[in-house]
Structure 1
Amino acid sequence: MLVINRKHLAKAKLEQLKNGYSAFADSSEVAGHLEREIKKHNLRVHIDRTPLGSWFIPIKDDE
């Protein structure tokens, strides 16, 4: 059985956002961790919540 640390997964997705790429979280737990990390790092991100999960889309400075 493979166990994935959700905090580690959220931090990996945070790095995607920092590099200008969108990230998807299919669980509310990962999405919650990711939202806290986004706030802590003062990133500008659009969050699109769907029934299947949440998309985190970085907002570029020129937008």
Structure 2
Amino acid sequence: MFVVCKTRVANEKVDRLLNGYSAYAETEELIRLVKRRIYSNNLDIYEDQTDIGCWFIPRN
């Protein structure tokens, strides 16, 4: 069985954003964790909320 650490996944997605790449989050919990880290890092991010997840796109 493969166990996924959600905080690690959220940190990896925010690292992608910090490097100028977009990131996608599938679950409500992961979206919440990524948003919290975006807010704490004071990033300017465009959020595209869909029915199946959320895209986070850095604004430059």
User: Which ranges of structure 2 fall in alignment gaps of 5 or more residues?
Assistant: none
Q: Which runs of 4+ in 1 moved over 4 A?
A: none
Matched with 2:25 is 25
Count of residue pairs brought into register by the alignment: 60
User: Which ranges of structure 1 fall in alignment gaps of 5 or more residues?
Assistant: none
The TM-score normalised by the length of structure 2 is 0.97
Q: How far did residue 8 of structure 1 move?
A: 0.6
What do you get for the CA RMSD once the two structures are aligned?
0.5
Sequence identity (%): 38
- In structure 2, what is the Cα distance between the partners aligned to 1:6 and 1:24? 13
Q: How far did residue 52 of structure 1 move?
A: 1.0
- In structure 2, what is the Cα distance between the partners aligned to 1:6 and 1:29? 8
1:8-49 CA deviation, whole Å, 9 max, x = no partner?
100000000000000000111111000000000000000111
Give the secondary-structure state (helix, strand or coil) at the position aligned to 2:56.
strand
Answer with 1 or 2: which has the greater Rg: 1
The TM-score normalised by the length of structure 1 is 0.93
